Amino acid sequence: MKTNIALIGFMGVGKTAVAKVLAYRLGKKLVELDGMIKLRAGKSITDIFRQEGEIAFRKLEIEITRKVAMGSNQVIACGGGIVLNKINIERLKKRSVIIYLMATPEVIIQRVDADSTIRPLLLKGNRALTIRKMLEFRQPFYDSAADIKIDTSYLNIAATVDNIIDRLKEYESFN
């Protein structure tokens, strides 16, 4: 029986905001993977990327995911690139229902532009073009990892959480 919920998806789809409300509503522990990576590294995600590179970040992500995936009764907000390493998804799938939160590229661009979060992968070049290219590349990974897919483009956080809870009721191996 799976007791965890892992939220995956591209930056700007609402993974962390939704995870906070969902964890509260379901009485589960909130786990934010990027936050755990920052704690483990003792520096920001931006600094990890700048000083050590994306490969070092992905290694930390694999390490933290391995530990988190063994837990239970958690809502896990995953980083946008977690699907790039198949081992992360294999580990999460053992105890988690994986929910892919998605949004249209236009909505993602609007949300990312309105957000003050520094996003290391968007620091160079045309942000909108980079988002579209990254999203196109990652789409098959998100699709193959997902147990449930929810489009957040025109949903607020509460409606997204309600949608997730309704869909989980239909998902047979979730408790």
Question: Looking at the domain 4-169, which fold is it?
Answer: Rossmann fold (3.40.50)
Question: Would you kindly state where each structural domain of the chain is located, as residue ranges?
Answer: 4-169
pLDDT, mean of residues 127-152 = 92
pTM: 0.91
Nearest to 112 by CA among 127, 124, 102, 96: 127
Report the alpha-carbon distance of residue 60 to residue 37 in Å, rounded: 6
With contact defined as beta carbons under 8 Å apart, do 7 and 32 qualify? no
* Cα separation, 142 vs 31, whole angstroms: 20
In single-letter form, the type of residue at position 114 comes to: A
Angle, in degrees to the nearest 10, between helices 54-69 and 86-93: 10
Quote the distance between the C-alpha of residue 39 and its chain's center: 18
**For 107-128, how does the pLDDT look when each residue is reduced to its tens digit (9 = 90+)?**
988 887 777 665 655 566 677 7
CA distance 94 to 96: 6
Please state the rounded mean pLDDT for residues 16-23: 97
